[in-house]
């Protein structure tokens, strides 16, 4: 009898830690990432790196092995300690990769895709996806960087624990514009250049891209036009000048502060800023890659007469097999949304299993809860401070902004596995933010500091312990979340 693929994945986790559960994911975006090829290239890691993705209807979960994914952060930090020039080398690599991403994003526009034979389009997409995967893996070193890693390497860094504590809170405040400011800059420049709105919308379609959705041009157009309806060339130039002045002031303040530090403290502070910049800068290029992947899939599904609502239930590995495979398996793919689908993968798809979403979700969450010592009756949740402050409010668990966003009200406490650009609107409404995932360079921490809102990150269990309507206190000065009153209706 064939072994259940989830049990196979869990069996491998006996000697390794499972990652924090990922939400808002799909098998189109989370499989076939060629981890092994590029982990070996960039970090010298050649061990098999398994990932598990499962989805049904509008829900998706994603797990990997945390131990292996943490190695890049340590490797690059040690390389930087030996020679700080590595930053410039990584920046050059990044510049070359994003240039290619931009090329493929412009190349794979809707007009070109619709007028070009699908085999040729898939050939170009294959090249484009290799660049996308390479960029993603190149950025892994910044995902697990945190204070604990610095404490572990204090001796190599040449500073004391008290010195680290002294500079940490200031060093983790971004001195460069966030991805949101960069998006504003892009729009303003396009308006100044006199680009037509039709073209602006397609150039900026990735603004509405996440791991579980790529917004249609019509929807993206309504959002952008509504936001910038009163912006013309003159007001855009004024807004851009103001934005540039604010950015320059932030950089000046950081440089003045670091000038007063000891040389070893300066070196670490600059590295922390580099990590924050890199992690934030990569986001929109990742979104560009996911967008051109989705555009090509749209054409394939249209040719096969399959509604686009099933796109996210297809894998890139299957896409690469061409139109005949898609047409032959049309009914199976449509059935995945209702029945559920689970995928075990590393460099390629290892196994696909249908009809087991609830079982696999239960197995993985139980294993994860056992691993982190999750106590269901606990009234205190600990984590890392993403942004200081204190706030009280009703917890709202948002795993999927598309399906859960409606229940969020101004002043609520946003509780999520992690946040991405599509969460920004809810973050603006929130009194405070809590996430399962994340280090000080994560999206939630960066945006919360920019918004000056209390934020707790890396709690590992918030989305499982907290329930909608729990009255909680987020004390991001002390690094804890207190459940003041449980919502009995959800218990």
For 328-364, the pLDDT digits (tens) are 999 999 999 999 999 998 766 778 999 999 999 999 9
| 390-397 and 413-416 beta bridge pairing | parallel
Rounded mean pLDDT, 269-278: 95
6 Cβ contact list (under 8 Å, min separation 6)? 52, 54, 342, 344, 353, 356, 359, 360, 363, 364
d(CA 456, CA 383): 6
| Selected residue with higher pLDDT from 47 and 181 | 181
The pLDDT tens digits of the residues spanning 82-95 come to 999 999 999 999 99
d(CA 21, CA 122): 32
Rounded mean pLDDT, 446-460: 91
d(CA 477, CA 454): 8
Residue 387 near residue 474, CB atoms below 8 Å: no
If one counts every other C-beta atom within 10 angstroms of the C-beta of residue 428, the result is 12
Residue 490: its pLDDT value, please?
A: 59
Rounded mean pLDDT, 114-134: 96
Q: Locate the domains of the chain by residue range.
A: 5-145+284-358, 378-490
Rounded mean pLDDT, 382-389: 90
Residue 40: its pLDDT value, please?
A: 83
Using N-to-C axis directions, what is the helix angle for 5-12 and 357-372, rounded to 10°? 10
Residue 491: its pLDDT value, please?
A: 46
Q: How many CA atoms lie within 13 A of 225 on its CB side?
A: 12
For 395, counting Cβ atoms within 10 Å of its Cβ (0-12 exposed, 13-18 middle, 19+ buried), the class is: buried
- The whole model's pTM is what? 0.91
Rounded mean pLDDT, 196-217: 94
Cross-strand bridge partners of residue 380? 482
Residue 301 near residue 310, CB atoms below 8 Å: yes
Residue 400 confidence (pLDDT) above 50: yes
Distance of CA 233 to the CA centre of its chain: 33
Rounded mean pLDDT, 459-485: 93
Fold of 378-490: Glucose Oxidase; domain 1 (3.50.30)
Mean pLDDT of the chain: 91
| Selected residue with higher pLDDT from 397 and 23 | 397
3-state secondary structure of 24: coil
């Amino acid at each position: 009898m064939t072994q259940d693929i989830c049990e196979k994945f869990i069996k491998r986790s006996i000697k390794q830690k499972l990652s924090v559960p990922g939400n808002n994911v799909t098998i189109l975006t989370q499989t076939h990432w060629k981890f092994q090829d590029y982990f070996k290239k960039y970090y010298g890691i050649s061990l098999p790196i398994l990932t598990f993705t499962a989805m049904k209807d509008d829900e998706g979960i994603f797990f990997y092995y945390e131990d292996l994914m943490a190695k890049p952060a340590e490797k690059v930090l040690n390389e930087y300690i030996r020679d700080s020039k590595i930053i410039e080398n990584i920046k050059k690599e990044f510049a070359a990769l994003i240039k290619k991403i931009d090329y493929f994003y412009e190349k794979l526009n809707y007009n070109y895709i619709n007028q070009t034979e699908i085999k040729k389009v898939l050939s170009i997409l294959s090249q484009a996806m290799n660049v996308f995967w390479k960029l993603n893996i190149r950025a892994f070193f910044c995902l697990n960087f945190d204070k604990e890693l610095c404490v572990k390497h204090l001796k190599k860094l040449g500073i004391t624990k008290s010195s680290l504590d002294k500079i940490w809170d200031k060093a983790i405040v971004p001195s460069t514009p966030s991805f949101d400011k960069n998006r504003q800059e892009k729009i303003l420049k396009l308006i100044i250049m006199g680009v037509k709105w039709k073209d602006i919308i397609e150039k900026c379609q990735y603004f509405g891209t996440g791991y579980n959705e790529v917004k249609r041009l019509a929807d993206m157009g309504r959002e952008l036009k509504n936001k910038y309806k009163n912006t013309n060339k003159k007001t855009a130039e004024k807004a851009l000048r103001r934005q540039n002045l604010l950015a320059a002031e932030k950089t000046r303040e950081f440089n003045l502060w670091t000038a007063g530090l000891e040389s070893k403290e300066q070196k670490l502070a600059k590295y922390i800023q580099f990590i924050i910049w890199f992690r934030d800068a990569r986001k929109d290029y990742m979104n560009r890659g996911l967008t051109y992947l989705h555009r090509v899939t749209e054409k394939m599904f249209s040719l096969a007469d399959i509604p686009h609502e099933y796109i996210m239930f297809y894998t890139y590995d299957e896409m690469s097999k061409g139109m005949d495979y898609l047409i032959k398996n049309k009914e199976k793919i449509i059935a995945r949304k209702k029945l559920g689908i689970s995928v075990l993968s590393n460099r390629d798809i290892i196994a696909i299993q249908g009809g087991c979403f609830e079982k696999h979700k239960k197995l993985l969450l139980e294993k994860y809860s056992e691993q982190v010592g999750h106590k269901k009756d606990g009234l205190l949740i600990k984590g890392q401070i993403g942004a200081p402050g204190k706030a009280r409010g009703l917890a709202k668990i948002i795993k999927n902004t598309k399906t859960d966003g409606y229940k969020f009200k101004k002043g609520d406490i946003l509780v999520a596995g992690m946040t991405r650009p599509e969460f920004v609107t809810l973050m603006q409404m929130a009194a405070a933010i809590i996430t399962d995932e994340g280090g000080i360079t994560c999206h939630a921490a960066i945006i919360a500091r920019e918004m000056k809102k209390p934020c707790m990150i890396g709690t590992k269990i918030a989305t499982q312990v907290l329930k909608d309507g729990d009255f909680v206190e987020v004390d991001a000065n002390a690094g804890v979340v207190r459940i003041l009153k449980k919502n009995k209706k959800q218990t």
